[in-house]
Amino acid sequence: MQEQQARHTDHSIAHLLQPIAHVSQDGSQSPHSLNKHLSAVEQLAGQFAAEFGAEEWGRLAGRWHDLGKFSRDFQQYIRSASGYEAHLVDVVPGRVNHSSAGALLAREQFGELGLPLAYLIAGHHAGLPDWSPAEDGGKALENRLLEGRKENLLAQAIEAAPKELLEASRPSLQRAILGDQFAGLHLWIRMLFSCLTDADFLDTEVFMQPEKSGLRGNYPEMATLLAQFNEHMNEKARNAESSDLNRIRAGVLRQCREKAAGAPGLHHPGRHARHLCGGRLRKPVRAAENRRVPRDRRQVRPQPFRADC
pLDDT in tens, 228-239: 988 998 898 889
Is 306 part of any domain? no
Share of the chain above pLDDT 70, in %: 71
Residues 261 and 289 in one domain: yes
Is 195 part of any domain? yes
Q: What is the DSSP string of 275-309?
A: STTSTTTHHHHHHHHHHT--GGG----PPPP-TT-
Of the ranges 24-28, 83-87, 104-108, 251-255, the best mean pLDDT one = 104-108
Q: State pLDDT tens for residues 68-88.
A: 999 988 988 888 776 444 444
Q: Given 190, 213, 236, which residue is the final one in a domain? A: 213
- As a three-state string, the secondary structure of 45-101 is HHHHHHHHCCHHHHHHHHHHCCHHHHCHHHHHHHHHHCCHHHHHHHHCCCCCCCCHH
Residues 152 and 116 in one domain: yes
Residues 31 and 126 in one domain: yes
Residues 126 and 227 in one domain: no
Is 308 part of any domain? no
pLDDT of residue 303: 47
Q: Given 182, 213, 244, which residue is the final one in a domain? A: 213
Q: State pLDDT tens for residues 4-57.
A: 444 434 434 444 468 999 988 877 778 999 999 999 999 999 999 999 889 999
- Cβ neighbourhood burial of 125 (10 Å; 0-12, 13-18, 19+): middle
Residues 250 and 138 in one domain: no
Residues 158 and 83 in one domain: yes
Is 252 part of any domain? yes
Residues 140 and 202 in one domain: yes
Query: What is the rounded CA–CA span in Å between residue 284 and residue 226?
Result: 10
Three-state DSSP state, 23: strand
Residues 28 and 155 in one domain: yes
Q: State pLDDT tens for residues 265-282.
A: 555 555 444 445 444 455
Give the domain CATH number at 140.
1.10.3210
Residues 98 and 168 in one domain: yes
Is 285 part of any domain? yes
* Domain limits for position 74: 2-213
Residues 116 and 63 in one domain: yes
Does 290 or 105 have the greater pLDDT score?
105
Q: Given 168, 185, 213, which residue is the final one in a domain? A: 213
Count of structural domains within the chain:
2
Is 189 part of any domain? yes
Residues 200 and 248 in one domain: no
Is 303 part of any domain? no
Residues 60 and 165 in one domain: yes
Is 194 part of any domain? yes
pLDDT of residue 176: 59
